[in-house]
Amino acid sequence: MCDTERQTVEPSLAVLRQYFGFESFRGFQKPIIDHLLAGGDAIALMPTGGGKSLCYQIPALLRPGVAIVVSPLIALMQDQVDALWQNGIRAAYINSTLSAAQVWTVVQQARDGQLDLLYMAPERLLMEGTLALLSQIPLALFAIDEAHCVSQWGHDFRPEYLGLSCLQERFPQVPRIALTATANGATRADMIKLLHLQSAKLFVASFDRPNIHYTVVAKKEAKNQLKRFLEAEHPGDAGIVYCLSRSRVEEVAQWLNECGWRALPYHAGLDKGVRQRHQAIFLREEGVIMVATIAFGMGIDKPDVRFVAHLDLPKSLEAYCQETGRAGRDGLPANAFLTYGYEDVIKLRQFVANSLMEEPLKRVARRQLDLLLGYCETTRCRRQVLLHHFGEVYPDPCGNCDTCLAPVATWDGLVAAQKAMSCVYRTGQRFGASYLIDVLLGKESERMVSFGHHTVSTFGIGRELTAQQWQSVYRQLVAADLLAVDAEQGSLRLTARSRPVLRGEQAIRFRQDPKALVTSVAKTRRVRKDSEPFAEPKAQRLWELLRGLRQEIAQKQGLPAFLIFHDATLRALVETRPLTEEALAEVHGIGKRKLQAYGKQILELLREGE
């Protein structure tokens, strides 16, 4: 597009094209931008990878003054500032990684009008010295990223966010936008109340991530299940594996390395320097798997994470959506893979019971776990269940989850449920599933004899099912709230809902667990084609050359390769093969700054490839 044509384009669209290389806005981006440009406050709820950052970055370039971005993580600030400079946008951050002299330089840049965006953590922003500085300079807007952190009802509460309510009091004329990727009704209400955003316009985009394929399997040798999943779907891909404990993280990372993958551990027990080094390797290098607790992930902008696997249950559906949303941020196909079992339920119940949370919060946590179990055991389309949780209606099955591609078989579980619950009652409601299954299967032991349970009426009455099938029965009874798990002992007891089933007054059907891990490979080849190698040898060679050039440029600048170009941009180059600067300028993701910086090298490579 020539300069004359660009001048006739609406300003926000012109900025989008010039700095970011995109031809059009997505979803609610344009309405949100227009609202902020008019001076209004906004709350934006958009899925991970939905383009939230553009909603405040473009107004920051069009409104006078500097935009202040509140971000909870140092890594997120650094990546976003690096990405903005790649696009020719003046940005900086102030955090604990800077020396006093470096902080002073940034402050002077802000005072002198040399910055468009300034990132900082809430603690830094709320310092009286910072607030005094901001009162002396023109401010374009405040953007509060990861705004769900203000709510105790959310999955990542950060008390320092509570102080951000002062922004409305200290700077009433400066527009504010609060952004998050996951927020249920209670969390949204807290964001409005605690950030003083009662007059803000609420923009709620669909939380659907259509490029993500969801799979949930009953846990049986989880590491081997993960291995088969990686071999079938993600050889050589970057991804994240979440585990519940630090020791489990270390164990799985070591095991993956022994199996031939490059995996790194990440958890709060590691030295800060080790965590930073591992995160840098994950961001900058290809095909690295990060094995982590929930200490890792918020704000990770790496777009080519092709899978997120949970070897243990997350704490809630909100946490699950937040964590799985780190896959496929570039819009290309990605996988969310989850294994879960009865033991996960016990661990999480114990975690809640032993936490320092007040009882109302514990009740919420238990309810969140129940909803997550319902998602795991559903026979419905998983995407429908997830979106319903966030208040969305997804009318038809998605065709891109395990229950859609391989409909779940069910069986009449009334008799099995009655036997399982009767065994709980006959043994005094003091034992866990493993012991109860031994009673049902008639496996006499010294311990059982000592309790006299070899003589109860339920001893040996369950031999028609295997131990694994009884594990599934007990797991599903807990998920249906027909049995409850004692948080301290792990024992099972009847609930108020048990009686109608025991009396035969209420039918119950169980999911039939597959006998082996069923992956999505066979049925998703058409879905995954965009992330597979090119069929044409010439195109594949060009793809590899472009990736090599990108890596070379990134290494020289000490940056992650995706900050130079996303995979989607490289694919567009392979598919369109522009041979002139004008044609190159039209490629998705190539703005004016990147055209000037890298255009000559790209064109030379493309011409040589012809």
**CATH code, domain with 472:** 1.10.10.10
Same domain, 569 and 605: yes
Nearest-angstrom CA–CA distance, 417 and 476: 10
Q: What is the pLDDT of residue 356?
A: 80
Task: Find out whether 353 and 491 touch, Cβ atoms under 8 Å.
Answer: no
Q: Which of 565 and 297 is assigned the larger pLDDT?
A: 565
Same domain, 195 and 227: no
Same domain, 138 and 254: no
Is 281 within the bounds of a domain? yes
Give me the chain's average pLDDT, please. 88
Chain position carrying tokens 């490579």: 605
Same domain, 308 and 417: no
Nearest residue to 369 via CA among 346, 339, 401:
346
Q: What is the pLDDT of residue 395?
A: 87
Same domain, 89 and 216: no
When computed from its CA atoms, the radius of gyration of the chain, rounded to whole angstroms, is: 27
pLDDT exceeds cutoff 90 at 185? no
Same domain, 501 and 605: no
Q: How many CA atoms lie within 13 A of 355 on its CB side?
A: 17
Residue 117, SS3?
A: strand
Same domain, 556 and 540: yes
pLDDT exceeds cutoff 60 at 579? yes
Tokens of 329: 């941020």
**CATH code, domain with 381:** 3.40.50.300
Same domain, 588 and 461: no
pLDDT in tens, 400-415: 999 999 888 889 999 9
Same domain, 355 and 417: no
What are the helix and strand counts (H, E) for the chain? Answer: 28, 17
Q: Of 137, 170, 204, at which residue does a domain stop? A: 204
Q: Of 137, 171, 204, at which residue does a domain stop? A: 204
Average of per-residue pLDDT across 441-458: 94
Q: What is the pLDDT of residue 350?
A: 81
pLDDT exceeds cutoff 80 at 201? yes
Q: What is the pLDDT of residue 607?
A: 87
CB atoms within 10 A of CB 310: 24
pTM above 0.75, yes or no: yes
Mean pLDDT check: name the lowest of 131-135, 302-306, 390-394. Answer: 390-394
Q: What is the pLDDT of residue 487?
A: 65
pLDDT band at 374 (very low <50, low <70, confident <90, very high): confident
Same domain, 218 and 191: no
pLDDT in tens, 459-480: 999 999 999 899 889 988 987 8
Nearest-angstrom CA–CA distance, 495 and 37: 55
Q: What is the pLDDT of residue 86?
A: 92
The domain in which residue 589 lies consists of: 533-609
Q: Which residues contact 359 (CB under 8 A, 6 or more apart)?
A: none
Q: What is the pLDDT of residue 96?
A: 84
Q: What is the pLDDT of residue 73?
A: 77
Tokens of 323: 């964590």
* Domain total of the chain: 4
CA distance to 249, 313, 364, per residue, from 346 (Å)? 19, 11, 17
- Residues of the chain by 3-state class (helix, strand, coil), percent to 5: 50, 10, 40
pLDDT band at 4 (very low <50, low <70, confident <90, very high): very low
pLDDT in tens, 70-95: 988 777 788 889 999 999 999 999 98
pLDDT in tens, 359-369: 887 888 888 88
Q: What is the pLDDT of residue 524?
A: 40
Q: Of 370, 402, 434, at which residue does a domain stop? A: 402
Which phi and psi angles does 72 have, rounded to 5°?
Answer: -85, -10
pLDDT band at 53 (very low <50, low <70, confident <90, very high): very high
Is 330 within the bounds of a domain? yes
pLDDT exceeds cutoff 70 at 154? no
Same domain, 377 and 467: no
pLDDT band at 525 (very low <50, low <70, confident <90, very high): very low
